[in-house]
Structure 1
Amino acid sequence: MRTYLLIITLLFSSIVSSQKFLDPPKLDIEDLKLTSYAKNTSEPAEVLYKSYHYYITEGDLHLDVISRVKIYKKDDAKKFLEEEIYTYMGKNNNIEKVTSLKVNTYNLENGKIATTTVDKNSKYQSKENKNYSVTKFAFENVKDGSIVEYKYSVLSPFLYVIPRVMVEDVAPIRYFEYVFDAPKHFGYNINYKGTLNPQKRDVSEKVLYGTEARTYRFAYKDIAAYKDEKYVNNIDNYRTSIRAELNSTDFPITSNGAYNTGISGGFKSYGISWSDIRKQLYEDENFGDELKRTNLVKEILPEDIKSIKDKKERAAAVLKFAQNKYKWNGEYGAFTDKGIKQLIATNSGNSAEINLMLILLMRSAGLDAEPVLLSTIGRGLLTSYSPSIAMLNYVIAFIDFDGKPVLYDATSKMTTPNLIRPAALNYFGFVMTKTDAKQINILCPEKSVTYLTVDAKLNADGTFEGNFSDRDTMLYAMMNSESYDKDKETYQKESYKERYKFPYTNIKSGTTEKGDFQTSFDFDSDSFVDGIGGKLVFNPLLFLYNKSHEFDQTEERRSPIELYTGYDKIKKVTITLPDGYVFENVPKSKKFRTEDNAIQYVYKVTQEGNKLTVETTTTVEDPVYPKEYYPAFKQIFDNITKLEGQVVTAVKK
C-alpha cells in the first residue's frame, strides 16, 4: 500500500468535542431571541453553523454546503444577505452543476418560528465569463434578528483541485467544519494555511460510500471575526483556509480507469513539485507547444529592433513593439485560449498569449527570454511547500542580464522593464525553463513618486486663486492611467470631485511625454481662510491638509502592510500674499523617521518676501512591511497629521 502525502502546516489540538461531524444542530428558537452578539455588541452578524462536505463517488466530486447566519444589524450585514455560487465550465461539456439549492429566512413571530422561503424566481444564474457561471440569490423578509440559511450541492467532474475553503470570516463563527472524503485510490495533499487550530480533527481510513476511503475532518468552535484591514491586497491570504489537491492515483492496472474518470490504471503522480509542474507545462499544447511556434514570429519584428546592439535596449524595444501591436483582452491565464496564431491574426489575446508572444519575439531578437509563471493577487499566494498548477494564472517574460533579472509584461502599454501589472505583484513566481523551475521575487523594485503641487495667490478679501497639479510616476502612473482610460468621468469624479468640494475649472488628465500621469486644474475659493480680528488665518497646505489618515486601526494588526510599491509623496504649496500683507506665526521646519529609516518625513518651510513655500515629503521605502510595523506607521502618521495641522496668519502692515 502506497503512502500519500498530507501537508498540514501546524499542530492540531486534540480537544474532544461533543459535536458530531456533518450533524447540523436544529434551529434553536433561543437564537432567534438574541438581539446582539454577546462578546461584541457591535458585530452585525454571527455565523451559527457552516459546513463544507466534499466527497468523491463514481468518479464525480460532490460538495454539500450548509450555512446558517444570525443577523443582528441588517444594514451592516449585506455580505451575508446576497450570495454567489461560482461553478466552473470546462471543455468538452465538462461543467459543474448546482443542485438542491434551498434558501430560507427565519423570524420570530408571536413567539413562534416563521419561515420565508426564497422563491425560485429570486434565484438566478448568470454567465460571468467563458469559464465560470455564477448562481446568485438574495434572502427575503430579512429583519434585525432574523436567521438566514442556505443549503446547496455541487456536482463536479473536476477531481484534481478541490476549491479552497475559507475558515475565518468577517463575522464570528460559532461552529464550522470541513470534511473531505476520497477513495484510497486517490492521493491528495491537504494544504492547511493559517494560524487557527481546529478543536476536533479526524484524519483516518474507513469504509465510506461502499469503498475504502481516506477522510479529512476538521471542526472549529467560537472563531473570532477576522475583519478586513486597510492596506492588504488580498486578506484571504492570511485567513485560515483549507484546500485539497490531487497528487497521485493508484488504480488496479486491469481496471482500465475507474469510475469513468479517464484516469489510467497503475500509479500515476500529478505535479507534487514545482519541477513536476514545469514538466506538465511544457507538455501542454496550450503552453509548451506554443513556445515552439518560432516560425510564426520570424518575420514580425522590424530589423531596426533586431539590430540594436545593447541587449537591454533591444529587450525594451521588443516590449514596446509588442505593447503597441497587441492588446490584452482582460482575461488572465497561464495557458493560451485561442493560441499565438490567432493572436497574430486578431492582435488581441489573453495574458498568456500576449506574454508568450513577447517571449517568442524576444527570442527571435536573439534574447534569452524565459516564462515566469505566477498567481495574481486575486487568485491568492503561491506556496513553495504545496505546488499547484491550478493556482497559476499569469505569465510574464524574464531575462537574466549577467545575474541581474529583469521582468517584462506586455499586457499594458504603461509597463516598462521591471514594472509589471499591479495584479501580478504577488510576492514571487517561478521561472520555468525547459530544464528547471526557479523561484524569484515578484515585487515592485522601484519607488513611485507622487507630486502634489499648488501655486496659490491670497486676495485681500480672503479668497484664494491658483492652480494645482497631481503627478505620479512608475507604478502609480500606470494604475491611474489605466483607471482613467477605463472610465474618464468616473476617475475624475472619484479622485477629485468627491475629494475637493471647492470650485475648480479646466481639469485635465493624461500621460506626459516621460510616461508620468498628471491631472491639473485651476481653482478659486473662499473656503480656506478664517478672518479673525482683521487677520487672515489659514493652513499653508490649503486643501492638501488631511485631518485624518488611514493607519487608524485600533485593534491588533493581523496582516502585513501591503502597499504595492514603496513611495515618496511630495506636497509643495507656494502662497503669494497681496501687496501690503506680511506673514505671522510661520511654522518651523521639522523632520522625523523610524530608527531604520523605513519611514521618513520632512516638513520644510521657506519664505522669500511675500511668498511662503511649505514642502512636505513622506517616504515609505518598501512595498511590504510585517504586521509588527503597524504601530510605527500609526505613530508617524499621527505626528504627520498633527504637524500639518499648523496654521499661518497674514496681516496687513
Structure 2
Amino acid sequence: MKLHEAAKSTLVLLLLLLGTSISGWCEQDPLRLGQVTDDELKMGIYPQDTAAAAVVLYDYGHSSFLFSKGTQLQFKRTVRVKILKKAGLDFANIEIPYFKKSPESKEEVLNLKGFSYNLENGKMVKVKLEENAVFDEKVDANWFVRKLAMPGVKVGSVIEYTYTIKSDFLHNLREWEFQSSIPVRWSEYRVAMVPFYEYKQVLHGFYPFHVQDSKENRVTAPITWDKEVGYAKMEERGTLSMSVVEYRWVMKDVPAFKEEPYLPNARDYLSKVEFELSKIQYPDQEPRFMAGDWEGFTKELLKEEEFGGQLTSVPALQKVAATVVAGKTEDLARAKAIVEYVQTSMRWDGKYRIYAENLKKAHDKHTGSSAEINLLLVNLLRDAGLIAQPMLVSTRGHGQPLESSPMLSKFNYVIACVNLAGKDYLLDATEPGLAFGMLPLRCLNGKGWVVQPPKGKWLPLQGVDRNSQMVSAQLTLKPTGEVLGSMEESYLGVPALQMRSKIKEKGQDTYVKSYANAGADWVRQDVKLINLEKPEETFKTQYQLSRAGAPQPEELLYLSPMLLHGQQENPFKLASRQYPVDFGSPVDETYVMNYELPPGYVIEELPKATVFSLPGNAAKFSYVVQEVNGKLQVMSKLTIHKTVFTASDYQNLREFYARMVAKHAEKVVLRKKS
C-alpha cells in the first residue's frame, strides 16, 4: 500500500512499527553458548601458532534495526576464547564500551551472560559469571565501559560470553575487527540493512575473506498511523513491505596481529570493517545526506555542553588570565605565559579525552584530562585577548582520522591552536617539558581538526622546532686499549622532549645513577644535565667516559669508533612487511668523535668512507673515519626527511639500516711499531 499520509511524519516508520526487529538472515546464529567441545577443552596448543597465549575460537556479531521506540540499532555478540598459557589470562577480563548522551538518548548493555569451562578429572565443569563480577566505569562525560572478570579461569580454560547493545545512535553502527593480538580461528559479522539508511562500508587490513556475500529478503511489518478526517483522527492499520539486505563477512584462521617497530596506528591496519552513515531517506521524502558535512559537525560540537559549552568565559578564569599576562604587551609573550601557567599549575591524569565536565572545577583541583587541561588553555588564551581554538586530534595509538568524513569516534584528544600574527601555533599543556609550539610525539599523527566556525579546518600536526640529536667527544686511546675523555650529547625538539620525559619519569637522581653505569666495560662519571627545566633551550648531557684496558700495552688495538652510540642492530627484522613505517618526526643524528692516538702505534686498518641514500633523498647516511695529524676523526650523520615509508619502501629501508649497522660495526685496527 502507498503511505502518502504516513510520509508526512517519520513517526509512521519510526514509532509505530510495533516492536519489529528487522533481520534478513533466517538461519540460526552460528555460535551458541554451551556448545563447548571436548577438543576445545583438551587443546594444549594452537597448531597454527604454537606460541599463542590464547586463541579466539569463535567471534560472532550481528547488527540489525529495531523500530519499537523510534529507530534503534541492536548489536549482538558472542565470543569463545581458549586460554593456552599464563600470559593469556588477561583475555578473561572483558571490557564493553557504550555511550550515554542523556537518559533519553543512550546505549544499553543487555542480556549479558558468561561462562567458564574447565576439564577436571576428565569431566567438564561449568562456572557461571555472577552479577557481583560485573561493574560499570565512567570513562568521560559520555563514554562508559562495562567490565567483567570471568570466573574460575586458569590455563586450559575455555571462556565464552554474550551480550546485546541497544543504541539510540544511528551513526554508531558497530564496526567489527576480525583480527586480534591473538590468533582468531573464526570471526563472523552480519549486518541487516533496511532501505531507509545507507552506510558507507570501509574495509581495512590485508587478509582475505573466507566468506563475503549478501542476501536480500522481503520483510512485511505491521504499521499503524493516525489519519485526519475533518477535525477527528482515525487510526489506520496496514503493512509495510521492504527489502532487507543482510551482509555477511567471515574470516578464518586469522594470524595474531604482531606489533612492529615504528607502527603507531596498529588499529588502522587490523583486518576490520567500519560503517559511516551517509544517507537517510524515508518513503516519499527527499534524502538527507550525512557524510562530508564538516560545517554541521563543527556547529554541533560547539553546541555540546561538554565541549563548546566549556569555552564560555568564566569571571574566575578571567581574573587568572589577567594576572598571568599582567605587564606583557606582546601577543607571543602573553601566549607563552598562559601556556607556562597551565603546564605548571595543572597535572595531567593521563586520560585521553575530548569532552570536559567543568573547567573551573578542574582548575581548582589542579588536575584533569587532556580535554580539561587543553580546553582550559583555550579559555585562558581567549581571556588574554588572543585568537585560540580547540583542535581535535587522533593520537598515534588511536589511528588516523578520516579527512573525508566527520566521525567523532576517530578523535580521542584535544589540543589548542592559537593564531599569532597570522601564524598558527599548536599547543599542548599536559606536559611541563614541552616548549612553546611543540607537540608530544603521541600527537604527531597526520592532521588535526581545528574546531572553529563556520566549518573548521585541517592542519598538519607538527611542531615549530627542528628535531635533532648531536653527540661530540674528545677522547684518548691508551696503549693498553683504555679509552677516556669527555662527551656531550645535545637534543632538540622531539628527542629533547623524550629525554626530559624519561628523566622526569625516573627522577633525576635515579636517572643519573643508572646512566652512570654504561655497561660492563664502560663508566660514565660527573654526569651533568643542562637545561633540564628550560624546555625552550637545547637539552644537554655532559659526562666523563672511560673504559678499562689490559694490564700491559697491546700489540694490536681494536677500536669501535662509535663506542656506545653505533646502530648495533637493524630494527627491521622481518623479511617483508605489509604495514608502513612511521618515524613520527624527521630524524637528524650527528656524531663527531675525536681521538688522541697512542704514540708508537700506526693505523693498520680504517673503515672506508661511505655515503648512501634512499630514492628521493628520503634518508641519507654518511660515515667518515680518517687520520689527521696523528688524531683519529670520526663523523657519522643520519638524516631521515620522510617520516612515513610505505610497505613498498620497506625493502629499501631495511637494506639501508642493514648497511648502516654493518658500517658502524667496523673497527679501527692499530699496530704497535716494531
TM-score by length of 2: 0.76
> Offset of 1:590 from its aligned partner?
1.8
Query: After alignment, is 387-396 or 197-206 more displaced?
Result: 197-206
| Residue 376 to residue 347, structure 1, CA distance change in 2 (3 Å) | same
Letter of the structure 2 residue corresponding to residue 179 of structure 1: R
1:594-609 matched pairs, under 5 angstroms: 594-609=614-629
- The residue type equivalent to 2:252 in the other structure is D
Identity %: 21
For the residues of structure 2 that align with 1:319 and 1:618, how far apart are their CA atoms? 33
Q: Could you tell me which amino acid in structure 1 is paired with residue 430 of structure 2?
A: T
Q: Which residue of structure 2 aligns with residue 480 of structure 1?
A: 499
Which digits, 9 at most, give the CA deviation of each residue in 1:101-135, with x for residues without a partner?
4243455986xx74564775995758585554452
Aligned to 1:437: 456
Q: How does 1:319-468 map to 2 (within 5 A)?
A: 319-339=339-359, 341-399=360-418, 405-443=424-462, 447-468=466-487
Shift of 1:439: 2.5
- Paired residue for 1:617? 637
How far 1:548 sits from its partner (Å)?
Answer: 1.5
Aligned to 2:178: 167
| SS of match in other structure, 1:359 | helix
Which structure 2 residues correspond to residues 63-74 of structure 1 after superposition, within 5 A?
63-69=75-81, 74=85
Provide closer, same or farther for how the CA distance between residues 457 and 381 of structure 1 changes in structure 2, counting only shifts above 3 A.
Answer: same
Contact 2:116 2:153 in 1 (8 A): no
Measure, in 1, the Cα distance between the counterparts of 2:162 and 2:112: 5
Q: d(CA) in 2 for partners of 1:237 and 1:79?
A: 26
Would you say 1:646 and 2:660 are equivalent positions? no
Q: Name which of 22, 26, 33 aligns with 2:29.
A: 22
The answer to whether the 8 A contact 2:114-2:150 is kept is no
Counterpart secondary structure, 1:161: coil
Q: Distance in 1 between matches of 2:593 and 2:221?
A: 73
Q: CA deviation at 1:375?
A: 2.4
Change (3 A) 1:445 1:217: farther
2 CA distance for matches of 1:163 and 1:228?
25
CA deviation after TM superposition for structure 1 residue 635, in Å: 0.5
Across the aligned residues of Structure 1 and Structure 2, the Cα RMSD in angstroms comes to 4.5
Q: Which moved more, 1:269-278 or 1:529-538?
A: 529-538
Alignment correspondent of 2:564: 543
Shift of 1:428: 1.6
1:95, CA displacement in angstroms? 7.6
Question: Cα distance, 1:619 vs. partner?
Answer: 1.0
2:329 alignment partner, one of 307, 310, 314: 307
1:557 partner letter: R
Residue-by-residue CA offset, 1:291-330 (whole Å, 9 max, x unaligned):
342766555245666521xx55654455445434544443
Task: Give distance in 1, aligned partners of 2:174 and 2:636.
Answer: 47
From the superposition, tell whether residues 183 and 506 of structure 1 become closer, same or farther in structure 2 (CA, over 3 Å).
farther
The alpha-carbon deviation at position 582 of structure 1 amounts to 4.4
SS in 2 for 1:552: coil
**Counterpart Cα distance in 2 of 1:560 and 1:568:** 20
Relative to structure 2, which stretch is displaced further, 480-489 or 470-479? 480-489
Provide closer, same or farther for how the CA distance between residues 331 and 39 of structure 1 changes in structure 2, counting only shifts above 3 A. closer
In structure 2, what is the Cα distance between the partners aligned to 1:215 and 1:501?
A: 67
Q: Deviations over 1:80-116 (max 9, x none)?
A: 7443314447576778557544243455986xx7456
**Count of aligned pairs between the two proteins:** 615
Residue 650 of structure 2 is matched in structure 1 by: 630
Q: What is the CA distance between 1:399 and its match in structure 2?
A: 4.5
Amino acid at match of 1:474: G
Equivalent position SS for 2:615: coil
AA of the residue aligned to 1:380:
G
Separation of aligned partners in 1, 2:504 and 2:110:
38
| Residues 430/422 of structure 1: CA separation in 2 closer, same or farther (3 Å cut) | same
User: In 1, Cα distance between the equivalents of 2:518 and 2:58?
Assistant: 42
Give CA-to-partner distance per residue, 1:426-484, whole Å, 9 cap, x none: 21222222212322322456652122344443344433334444432101222332233
1:538 Cα shift?
Answer: 2.7
Q: 2:273 is matched with which residue? A: 242
With 348-357 and 58-67 compared, the bigger mean Cα shift is at 58-67
Conserved in 2, the CA contact under 8 Å of 1:444 and 1:564?
A: no
CA distance in 2, matches of 1:178, 1:346: 45
Letter in 2 for 1:238: Y
State the secondary structure of the residue aligned to 1:289.
Answer: helix
The residue type paired with residue 152 of structure 1 is T
SS in 1 for 2:94: strand
Quote the residue 2:580 is aligned against: 560
Q: Which amino acid aligns with 2:294?
A: W
User: Cα distance 1:116–1:633, how it changes in 2: closer, same or farther (>3 A)?
Assistant: farther
AA at the equivalent of 1:23? P
Q: Could you tell me which residue of structure 2 aligns to residue 534 of structure 1? A: 555
* CA deviation vs aligned residue, 1:338-394 (integer Å, no higher than 9, x gap): 13x335545544333433343344445554333322322333321133321233333
Partner of 1:221: 251
**Offset, 1:553:** 1.6
One-letter identity of the residue aligned with 2:457: K
Asked if the contact 1:305/1:314 (under 8 Å) is kept, the reply is: no
Tell me if structure 2 keeps the 8 A contact 1:447–1:567. no
Who is 1:9 aligned against? none
Equivalent AA in structure 2 for residue 235 of structure 1: A
The one-letter amino acid of 1:410's match is A
Structure number with bigger Rg: 2
- Indicate the residue corresponding to 2:263 in structure 1: 232
Q: Which moved more, 1:361-370 or 1:468-477?
A: 361-370
User: What amino acid sits opposite 2:375 in the alignment?
Assistant: L
Query: Which amino acid in 1 is paired with 2:161?
Result: K
SS at match of 1:67: strand
2:174 corresponds to 1:152: no
Unpaired segments ≥5 residues, structure 2: 11-24, 224-239
Give the SS at the match of 1:479.
Answer: helix
Residues 564-575 of structure 1 aligned to structure 2 (within 5 Å): 564-575=584-595
Give the secondary structure class of the aligned counterpart of 1:419.
Answer: coil
Amino acid at match of 2:30: D
Of 52, 55, 58, the residue aligned with 1:49 is 58
Matches within 5 A, 1:273-312: 273-293=293-313, 298-299=318-319, 300-301=321-322, 307-308=329-330
* 2:465–2:492 contact (8 Å) kept in structure 1: no
Show the counterpart of 1:177. 188
Q: What's the offset of the Cα at 1:49?
A: 1.8
Pick aligned residue for 1:135 from 147, 161, 170: 147
Aligned partner letter, 1:200: Q
Distance change in 2, residues 1:549/1:52 (3 Å): same
Letter in 2 for 1:202: S
Q: Does 1:586 align with 2:597?
A: no
SS of corresponding position for 2:577: coil
Bigger drift between 239-248 and 635-644 goes to: 239-248
TM-score (norm 1): 0.78
Matched, 1:78 2:99: no
C-alpha distance after superposition, 1:273-306 (max 9, x if no partner): 2221111012222333333427665552456665
CA deviation profile, 1:568-604 (whole Å, cap 9, x unmatched) = 1223333334454444323232211113111110112
Is the contact between residue 176 and residue 273 of structure 2 (CA under 8 Å) also seen in structure 1? Answer: yes
**Closer, same or farther: CA 106–565 of 1 in aligned 2, 3 Å:** same
Q: Is the 8 A contact 2:325 2:338 kept in 1?
A: no
For residues 24-76 of structure 1, the C-alpha deviation after alignment (integer angstroms, 9 at most, x for no partner) is: 285455566777666666666653321123456555765443333456x636x
Deviation (angstroms), 1:549: 1.8
Deviation at 1:634, TM superposition (A): 0.5
